[in-house]
Each structure stands twice: as C-alpha cells, then as structure tokens.
Amino acid sequence: MKDTDIKRLLYAHLLCIFSIILSTFVPSFFLENFSVLKTHLTWLCICSVLVTVFNLVLYLVVKPNTSSKRSSSSPKVARFLKCCIYFLMSCFSFHIIFVLYGAPLIELVLETFLFAVILSTFTTLPCLCLLGPNLKAWLRVFSRNGVSSIWENSLQITTISSCMGAWLGAFPIPLDWERPWQVWPISCTLGATFGYMAGLIISPLWIYWNRKRLTYKNN
C-alpha cells in the first residue's frame, strides 16, 4: 500500500462530502422555500441522487477494484439490473428494520422509506459500486479480518459509521425540546448523514494512522 493510494482515497471521500454540501446549498437557487429541515423530503431526494451520481462517477474514474478479479462472464446490463434490485431490496429491508424499531407502520410511510433510501445510498450503494452484486464478497468484507484493500477497509468504516449515526440520531426524538429537527425521521437522517461524513473523514485518517499495521492479502 502506498501513500498515493491513501491520498486518492482521501480526495475521493472529500468529493463525496462535497456532494452532500452541494445538495444542501445548490437547490435553494432553483427551488423556492428550500431548506433542509422544512422541505426535508426534497432534500433527501436530492441528496441521495447527488451522492449516488458522485459515487458512480468516482468509482468509474478511480476504478479502485481493477486489481481484484472480476467475473466478466455476466453481461454488464444484467449486472446493472442486479445492482438495482439489490439496492431496492436493501431499501425495503431498512424500511422493515425501521418499522421494527418503532417507526409508524401506516403514517409517514414516505418519510420512513426515504430515510431507508438515503441510508441505503450511504451504505449499500458504495458496496454495490465496489464489490458488485456479489454476496460472498460482501460477507467477506464485513466479517472479521476479511478486508483486502484500503477501499474495502474504508467501505467498512463508512458503512458502520453511517448506521451508527442513524442509530444515535434516534436519541433526541423523545426529548421535550420541541425543535423542528426532532421529528421522525429528520434527526435520524441527519444522524446518518453526519455519520457518513464522519466515516468519510475518519477512514483515510485511520488507514494512514495504522498503515504500518495493516497488511492486505492482495497488495
């Protein structure tokens, strides 16, 4: 592993953060009355679309997984469709988990689902980009000592930190501060976003810090 790899990782992550910042500021030029809290659903859509686009572009440009062998047998269209299905499935499973956690079953379905979408964007989408619709690889990355590159390592960190952020974001909901952001699911989406951004920043630093200790099978 070289320092240049880490640098590339850092720049890629900074671009992802930039996409989120973009999604909070740019729409106010085009849309009236746009604000993250008041028109939360619009922001959620824009943010997830922007993050998706940036992620796709980045992975196409940077191509972090060229070294790992790719199953070229299946055609690209099929792979893409499979990815879409996986993404949708992850959205639905997140939705189910939120309902199990106590989100209302019938009211606020759209809100809950968009929260599931944005959390999938932060977690499942990068996995799909990097690993493809390959469950074995996913299980490898998320099991103990299974990572094989800094990209996968950072993937692990950002995914876990986004989920943790969403988890921690639920804490202020019962407090009686009467703030607009305490409404379901705003605090959770904000938590997930901050968690994702924190993960993006932390992972290059953490990898840089531990670069002596980390050894990957492939590198």
Judged on CB neighbours under 10 Å (0-12, 13-18, 19+), 149 is buried
Residues 6+ positions from 181 with CB-CB distance below 8 Å: 37, 172, 187, 190
Q: Which stretch binds other proteins (CB under 8 A): 109-117, 123-131, 169-177, 186-194?
A: 169-177
Q: Quick one: which H or E segment has residue 89?
A: helix 76-100
Tell me how far apart the alpha carbons of residues 126 and 18 are, in angstroms, rounded to a whole number.
Answer: 16
- Asked if residue 181 binds other proteins (CB under 8 A), the reply is no
* CB-nearer residue toward other proteins: 22 or 99: 99
- Asked if residue 3 binds other proteins (CB under 8 A), the reply is no
- Asked if residue 102 binds other proteins (CB under 8 A), the reply is yes
| Residues in the chain, overall count | 219
- Asked if residue 173 binds other proteins (CB under 8 A), the reply is yes
- Asked if residue 164 binds other proteins (CB under 8 A), the reply is no
Tell me how far apart the alpha carbons of residues 172 and 174 are, in angstroms, rounded to a whole number.
Answer: 6
- Asked if residue 89 binds other proteins (CB under 8 A), the reply is no
- Asked if residue 176 binds other proteins (CB under 8 A), the reply is yes
* CB-nearer residue toward other proteins: 32 or 176: 176
Q: Using CB under 8 A as the criterion, what x/- string covers residues 40-79 for binding other proteins?
A: ----------------------------------------
Residue 29 three-state SS: helix
Q: How many alpha carbons fall within 13 Å on the CB side of residue 203? A: 31
Tell me how far apart the alpha carbons of residues 15 and 21 are, in angstroms, rounded to a whole number.
Answer: 10
- Asked if residue 99 binds other proteins (CB under 8 A), the reply is yes
* CB-nearer residue toward other proteins: 48 or 112: 112
Spatial contact of 158 and 203, defined as CB atoms under 8 Å apart: yes
Site for other proteins in 104-163 (CB under 8 A): 105, 139, 143-144
Residue ranges that bind other proteins, judged by CB under 8 A: 97, 99-102, 105, 139, 143-144, 167, 170, 173-176
